[in-house]
């Protein structure tokens, strides 16, 4: 069958993209394998398995998958907590969980983590990776610093240079000739990995399952973020659920053969697209080229100094930190800066799960507070001649459980100094039970302080709920169901009567 021009160009782009990105992936796969505690071979074969299987079954055609910094940092924690058996058990389960997540079409929900939280844990992961390489920097500081200099300097000469692989080669040559070190990668098996089944019976499966859920969520989030970037670059649209299923299949197979799991890798995917990769073939070729590299150069790879890999990871971690995006978000919003800062610090001093959970919660609290502000409008009331100050607020929008407390907090802050507060519900199309109870709570609090709350603009059904919940007694029904002008007039009459009392 003869290939037409468009098909040939696509095939050519996939081949060039796959080969190019394999040179980027090799040193990273070795480095992440060493960092994880499972060994360089586990990282390399993990990149091969996930690199081939994820594009075959996934939903993003030009995406490259493999071990990444974010995933590896979590794997390090799990290795330290549960040992090698626990680590591989969690990775196997994570792959299965991802498959189930895709089958039940949960892909659209996974990207709900707020952007500042993602930036925060990305920054924290970069810092963690850097800190974990200091031991190799201390082993051979000159060698590590040389590699770091190459990692930053080579792209300045030519951005197309595969700087990571060049730094790896030069660093290894310098070590052999002038700066020998005993800390090296070690033997990389040249035989196909064997199936590795952990001893599940000896493990605490509750803890292992929790760890697996964390891995599955992290892997899915990172993969879908990479998918979005590939979509932007290639003007395509990925299938989120299929992508998660593909990642799950790749991770399950990689883990069951004793290798690291991976995610869609942003940097490698960008390199692939920039080199011309547009289809699934590019990812598959990238994995096959990695396999050929290790078969051909495995003995040489075993002599690579860990200081060289440490230097590569140090430079990579510095580049991982989202300086520009952090500055952009911080300039636009102090709240975003707070979320980024908290998430970054927690990622470094606790763990990723805690950091993401608290970062997301903090974002939600800030959102609710901002919604409360945007939902509430204060209308000035002419209080000339009154010692009693009257404040009037209109709630613009539905009063539901998500914003009720934020609105009440705003009312409390803005009504200081007032003795009579009017709340107009005319522009609130719906009020749920939580909103009614919260208004009842603030009414009670104000009354305890000797203040008066007047609620107006209610619909008949809402008014009946207030009565049934014993928040209102029916005495001010005309005002409650009336309009704001009537309520203000009533408030002024109350103020006059209080003054004359």
Instruction: Look at residue 496 in the predicted model and tell me its pLDDT.
Output: 80
Of 322, 351, 371, the position where a domain reaches its end is 322
- Quick one: 124 and 32 in the same domain? yes
Q: Could you tell me the pLDDT band of residue 189, with boundaries at 50, 70 and 90?
A: confident
Let me know whether 12 and 117 are in one domain. Answer: yes
Judge whether 405 lies within some domain. Answer: yes
HSE-up of residue 216 (Cα within 13 Å, Cβ side) = 27
Range of the domain at 154: 5-183+203-322
Domain final position from 275, 290, 322: 322
Q: Helix (H, G, I), strand (E, B), or coil: what is residue 392?
A: strand
- What is the token pair recorded at 284? 């598959």
CA distance 301 to 27: 10
- Whole-number CA gyration radius for the chain: 30
Query: What's the whole-number mean pLDDT along residues 202-220?
Result: 93
According to the model, what pLDDT value does residue 448 have? 83
Backbone angles phi, psi at 230, to 5 degrees: -65, -40
- Position 245 scores a pLDDT of 96
User: Which pLDDT score, from 0 to 100, does residue 225 have?
Assistant: 83
SS3 per-residue string spanning 267-305: HHHHHHHHCCCCCHHHHHHHHHHHHHHHHHHHHHHCCCE
What is the band of 280 on the pLDDT scale with cuts at 50, 70, 90?
very high
Give the list of residues 6+ apart from residue 192 with CB closer than 8 angstroms, or none: none
* Residues 254, 259: Cα–Cα separation, whole Å: 5
Region 358-370: mean pLDDT is 79
Q: What is the pLDDT of residue 383?
A: 67
Q: Whats the size of the chain, residue-wise?
A: 501
Instruction: Output the CA–CA distances (angstroms, integers) from residue 39 to 25, 259, 310, 428, in the order listed.
Output: 16, 9, 14, 60
- The more confident residue out of 230 and 187 is 230
Q: 263 in helix, strand or coil?
A: strand
Residues 208, 64, single domain; the answer is: yes
Contact 144, 92 (CB under 8 A): no
Pull the structure tokens for residue 291: 């396999």
Same domain, 244 and 178: yes
Residues 6+ apart with CB under 8 A from 312: 27, 28, 31, 147, 151, 164, 167, 168
Whether residue 151 is found in the same domain as residue 235: yes
Three-state secondary structure along 442-474?
HHHHHHHCCCEEEEECCCHHHHHHHHHCCCCCC
pLDDT digits (tens, 9 = 90+) for 300-321: 888 999 999 999 999 988 988 8
Residue among 304, 288, 297, 250 at smallest CA distance from 34: 304
**Distance between CA atoms of 29 and 156, rounded to whole angstroms?**
24
290 and 422 share one domain: no
How confident is the model over 241-274, as pLDDT tens digits? Answer: 999 999 999 999 999 999 999 999 988 998 899 8
Residues 226 and 110 in one domain: yes
Q: Rounded to the nearest 5°, which phi and psi values hold at 106?
A: -95, 5
Residue 340 maps to a domain: no
In a domain, 196, yes or no: no
Q: Judge whether 360 lies within some domain.
A: no
Band the pLDDT of 195: cuts 50, 70, 90: very high
Alpha carbon distance 375, 361 (integer Å): 21
- Whose structure tokens read 């990305």? 122
In terms of Cα–Cα distance, which of 266, 263, 327 is closest to 116? 327
- Asked if residue 146 is part of any domain, the answer here is yes
Considering the domain architecture, whether residues 151 and 281 belong to the same structural domain is answered as yes
- Asked whether residue 82 is domain-assigned, the answer is yes
Q: Specify the 3-state DSSP secondary structure of 97.
A: helix
pLDDT band at 1 (very low <50, low <70, confident <90, very high): very low
State residue 52 phi and psi, 5-degree precision: -90, -45
In this structure, are strands 263-264 and 376-379 parallel, antiparallel, or unpaired?
A: unpaired
Least confident of 95-104, 238-247, 335-344, 488-497: 488-497
Q: What is the mean pLDDT of the chain?
A: 87
| DSSP E strands, 350-493 | 376-379, 390-395, 420-424, 452-456
Judged against a pLDDT cut of 80, whether residue 76 lies above it is answered with yes
pTM greater than the 0.85 cutoff: no
Query: What is d(CA 370, CA 360) in angstroms, rounded to the nearest whole number?
Result: 15
Instruction: Report percent pLDDT > 70 for the chain.
Output: 92
Residues 315 and 400 in one domain: no
pLDDT score recorded for residue 44: 93
Tell which residue, 371, 391, 396, has the closest CA to residue 381.
Answer: 391
Q: Do the Cβ atoms of 163 and 156 come closer than 8 Å?
A: no
Comparison of pLDDT for 187 and 293, the residue scoring more: 293
In a domain, residue 371? The reply is: no
- In this structure, the answer to whether residues 316 and 391 fall within a common structural domain is no
| 39 secondary structure, DSSP code | -
Domain count, the chain: 2
Residue with tokens 């810092």: 127
Tens digits of residue pLDDT in 14-45 = 999 899 899 889 999 999 999 888 889 999 99
Residues 317 and 385 in one domain: no
CATH number of residue 429's parent domain: 3.30.750.24
Q: How many degrees, rounded to 5, is the angle at CA 24 between CA 21 and CA 26? A: 105
Top mean-pLDDT range of 88-97, 428-437, 463-472: 88-97
Classify residue 475 by burial, with Cβ atoms within 10 Å: 0-12, 13-18, 19+: exposed
420 vs 386, residue with greater confidence: 420
Secondary structure class of 396 (helix, strand, coil): coil
The pLDDT tens digits for 374-404 are 567 777 777 665 656 888 888 877 666 556 6
Cα-flanking dihedrals φ and ψ of residue 415, to 5°? -100, 10
pLDDT higher than 80, residue 3:
no
pLDDT at res. 413: 72
Whether 398 is in a domain gets the answer: yes
Q: Are residues 318 and 384 in the same domain?
A: no
Give the residue with greater pLDDT, 399 vs 322: 322
Which one of 301, 322, 343 terminates a domain?
A: 322
């Amino acid at each position: 069958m003869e290939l037409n021009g468009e098909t040939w160009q696509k095939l050519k782009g996939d081949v060039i993209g796959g080969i190019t990105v394999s040179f980027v992936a090799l040193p990273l796969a070795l480095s992440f394998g060493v960092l994880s505690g499972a060994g360089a071979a586990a990282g390399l074969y993990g990149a091969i398995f996930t690199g081939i299987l994820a594009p075959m079954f996934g939903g993003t055609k030009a995406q490259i998958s493999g071990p990444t910094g974010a995933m590896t940092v979590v794997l390090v924690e799990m290795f330290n907590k549960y040992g090698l058996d626990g680590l591989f058990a969690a990775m196997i389960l994570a792959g299965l969980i991802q498959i189930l997540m895709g089958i039940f079409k949960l892909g659209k929900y996974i990207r709900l983590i707020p952007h500042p939280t993602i930036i925060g844990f990305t920054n924290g992961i970069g810092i963690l990776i850097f800190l974990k390489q200091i031991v190799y920097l201390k082993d051979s500081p000159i060698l590590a610093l040389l590699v770091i200099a190459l990692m930053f300097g080579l792209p300045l000469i030519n951005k197309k240079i595969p700087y990571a692989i060049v730094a790896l080669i030069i660093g290894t040559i310098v070590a052999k000739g002038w700066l020998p070190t005993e800390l090296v990668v070690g033997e990389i098996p040249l035989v196909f990995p064997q199936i590795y089944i952990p001893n599940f019976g000896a493990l605490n499966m509750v803890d292992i399952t929790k760890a697996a859920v964390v891995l599955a969520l992290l892997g899915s989030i990172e993969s879908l973020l990479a998918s979005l970037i590939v979509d932007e670059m290639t003007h395509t649209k990925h299938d989120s659920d299929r992508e998660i299923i593909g990642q799950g299949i790749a991770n399950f197979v990689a883990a069951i053969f004793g290798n690291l799991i991976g995610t869609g890798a942003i940097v490698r995917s960008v390199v692939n697209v920039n080199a011309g990769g547009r289809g699934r073939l590019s990812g598959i070729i990238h994995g096959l080229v990695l396999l050929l590299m290790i078969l051909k150069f495995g003995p040489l790879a075993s002599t690579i100094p860990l200081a060289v890999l440490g230097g590569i990871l140090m430079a990579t971690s510095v580049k991982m930190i989202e300086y520009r995006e952090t500055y952009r978000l911080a300039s636009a919003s102090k709240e975003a800066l707070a979320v980024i800062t908290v998430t970054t610090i927690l990622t470094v001093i606790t763990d990723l799960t805690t950091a993401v959970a608290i970062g997301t919660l903090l974002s939600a609290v800030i959102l609710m507070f901002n919604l409360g502000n945007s939902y509430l409008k204060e209308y000035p009331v002419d209080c000339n001649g009154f010692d009693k100050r009257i404040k009037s607020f209109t709630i613009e929008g539905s009063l539901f459980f998500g914003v009720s407390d934020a609105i009440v907090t705003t009312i409390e802050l803005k009504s200081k100094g007032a003795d009579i507060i009017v709340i107009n519900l005319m522009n609130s199309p719906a009020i749920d039970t939580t909103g009614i109870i919260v208004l009842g709570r603030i009414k009670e609090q104000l009354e305890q302080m000797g203040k008066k709350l007047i609620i107006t603009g209610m619909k008949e059904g809402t008014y009946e709920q207030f009565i049934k919940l014993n928040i209102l007694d029916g005495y001010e029904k005309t005002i409650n169901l009336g309009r704001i002008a009537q309520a203000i007039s009533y408030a002024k009459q109350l103020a006059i009567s209080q003054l004359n009392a």
